[in-house]
Amino acid sequence: MKTAKSKLPLKLIKLGSKEKYTRLFSVKNGDAITFHSGCVVLKEDESVGEHNTDGAEEMLIILEGEGELYANGFEKLDFEKGTALYIPPNTVHDVRNTGTSLLKYVFITCPAVKA
């Protein structure tokens, strides 16, 4: 079986930053085809800020800490290290650190398309 070779190179990014937001892979940067991703680090009681990913689905993978996900039209979700969260398209939401240490998570957004 013959497969087409991707024009995108393999890429490795170290997740050691303490910055609030670090872009990982992005269509805009030319290192992803359909998704955007980043790493977010929130201090105690800090929030990422209410936002909407419009027509994109979003997944959060919690690496460290604990927090709450608020989303319009849904119940608040409490989460902790080792969990993953799903946010549907067109959902206004916010993430807040409710712990006493840093909250660190990776987000991945991708245009929602029915297969």
- Summarize pLDDT for 75-101 with one digit per residue, the tens: 999 999 999 999 999 999 999 999 999
Residue type, 111: P
Could you tell me which residues come within 8 angstroms of residue 83 by beta carbon, excluding any fewer than 6 positions away? 62
Task: Give the architecture-level CATH label for domain 21-111.
Answer: Sandwich (2.60)
- Summarize pLDDT for 61-73 with one digit per residue, the tens: 999 999 999 998 8
pTM, 2 dp: 0.89
Q: What is the predicted pLDDT for the residue at 115? A: 64
Average pLDDT over residues 6-32: 86
What span, in angstroms and rounded, lies between the C-alpha atoms of 78 and 57?
19
Q: Where do the structural domains in the chain lie, given as residue ranges?
A: 21-111
